[in-house]
């Protein structure tokens, strides 16, 4: 076998591989905690509303910091966020594991959310720096696969760890994984932000942030931001908050069984990722995102109205399939309708829209669950997703076509 071409390909993609390895380590955290966090909140004396608040505090930190951190990465570089973010995550996870009240849990989850905002904003900008419109989906798909590997491994690992050593142990495992990611990023991920031309003046942080936010007000960017809001709301509310509680309350599943179910949903997304990426490149980003939103809405209805374990499992796997259909298309579309001069800021704003869904969905729909039951909460979630699908379809499929990339290329 001729190893020379293989070595060349690896050298050409070593930065993508480095980001992906770091992403696996960081994203194992949310996966590990997915079957644990709602039950941990219940263990220290609180219900679905408090569990939603713990999830929401993580998102609140990301909402507050995504955009300024994105602007910071455009002026000070990506490595600051990629290396520092996992360190902050580790601190937040240790504090979460030591919490004995819901207030302390919420505070430490906020700290972990800050670290997550740092890493995810920096890593997305990093990947866009080293990609082009012709290979961007493929590179994002590699990192998406890494994300899904981490999320897929996480729930099963988290469920088994919790079953063996208690509900606090998974938090410490996540902290160790994040610390390894920080050390790895420090040694393996060089800076990608282009230096200023000779004589150029670095724009002031505040003015650059304000100008970039105004530039992100186009209809396509707003539409994809709304879609990301719907995707993240569903992930944080229906999938990671309500689904584990339904599994326990309605179908008496154990924590390790819940972990296997959530892991199976993520594994489905991982297996179908190459197909999703190919469809996105061939047919266009909105042509896969809109159907994904529609299937998501249907799956939420199935879960909310489930009367037996098989129907519940079917609805859950359909939700995993819907997530797989979109793949990396939303992030690629957001990058392509944004300015190349504000990559970090664009990714920060894009993720902020999603994190707003994480912030609002769990506590609000958790309250709906406590007062009116699961079917209404899942129904509201499904309606929000359906509206996002309609808005994106109206914007993306109008006029000149939806496969026009920046610069007029198709």
Q: What is the pLDDT of residues 278-326, one digit of tens each?
A: 787 778 888 999 999 999 999 999 999 998 989 999 999 999 899 888 8
Confidence of residue 342 (pLDDT cuts 50, 70, 90): low
Rounded CA-CA distance 36/162 in Å is 7
What pTM does this model have?
Answer: 0.69
| Distances 89 to 82, 84, 180 between C-alpha atoms, Å | 11, 9, 11
Query: What domains lie within the chain, and their CATH numbers?
Result: 14-190+207-396 (1.20.1250.20)
240 or 372, which is more confident? 372
* Separation in Å, CA 218 to CA 101, 163, 212, 256, 280: 43, 48, 12, 45, 21
- Confidence tier at 68 by pLDDT (50, 70, 90): confident
Chain segment 138-176, per-residue pLDDT in tens: 777 777 777 777 766 777 788 788 888 888 888 999 899
Query: What would you measure as the largest C-alpha separation in the chain, in angstroms?
Result: 68
């Amino acid at each position: 076998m001729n190893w020379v071409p293989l070595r060349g390909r690896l050298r050409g993609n070593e930065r993508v591989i480095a980001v992906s390895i770091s992403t696996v380590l960081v994203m194992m955290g949310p996966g590990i905690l997915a079957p644990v966090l709602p039950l941990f909140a219940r263990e220290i004396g609180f219900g679905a509303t408090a569990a939603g608040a713990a999830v929401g505090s993580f998102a609140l930190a990301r909402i507050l910091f995504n955009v300024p951190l994105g602007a910071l990465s455009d002026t000070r570089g990506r490595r600051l966020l990629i290396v520092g973010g996992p360190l902050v995550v580790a601190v937040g996870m240790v504090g979460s594991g030591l919490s004995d009240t819901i207030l302390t849990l919420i505070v430490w989850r906020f700290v972990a959310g800050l670290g997550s905002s740092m890493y995810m904003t920096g890593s997305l900008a990093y990947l866009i720096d080293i990609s082009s419109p012709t290979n961007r989906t493929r590179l994002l798909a590699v990192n998406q696969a890494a994300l899904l590997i981490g999320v897929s491994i996480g729930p099963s690992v988290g469920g088994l760890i919790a079953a063996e050593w208690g509900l606090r142990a998974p938090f410490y495992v996540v902290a160790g994984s994040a610390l390894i990611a920080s050390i790895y990023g420090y040694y393996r991920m060089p800076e990608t932000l282009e230096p200023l031309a000779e004589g150029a003046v670095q724009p002031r942080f505040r003015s650059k942030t304000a100008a970039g936010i105004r530039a992100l007000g186009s209809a396509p960017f707003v539409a994809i931001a709304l879609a990301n809001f719907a995707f993240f709301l569903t992930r944080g509310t229906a999938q990671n908050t309500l689904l584990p509680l339904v599994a326990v309350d309605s179908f008496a599943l154990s924590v390790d069984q819940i972990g296997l179910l959530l892991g199976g949903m993520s594994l489905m997304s991982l297996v179908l990722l190459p197909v999703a990426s190919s469809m996105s490149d061939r047919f266009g980003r909105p042509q896969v995102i809109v159907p994904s939103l529609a299937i998501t809405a249907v799956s939420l209805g199935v879960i909310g109205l489930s009367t037996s374990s098989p129907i519940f499992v079917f609805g859950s796997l359909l939700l995993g399939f819907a997530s797989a259909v979109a793949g990396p298309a939303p992030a690629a579309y957001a990058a392509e309708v944004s300015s190349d001069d504000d990559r970090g800021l664009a990714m920060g704003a894009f993720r902020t829209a999603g994190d707003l869904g994480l912030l609002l969905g769990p506590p609000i729909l958790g309250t709906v669950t406590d007062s009116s039951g699961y079917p209404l909460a899942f129904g509201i979630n499904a309606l929000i997703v359906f509206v996002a699908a309609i808005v994106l379809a109206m914007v993306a499929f109008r006029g000149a076509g939806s496969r026009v990339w920046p610069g007029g290329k198709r």
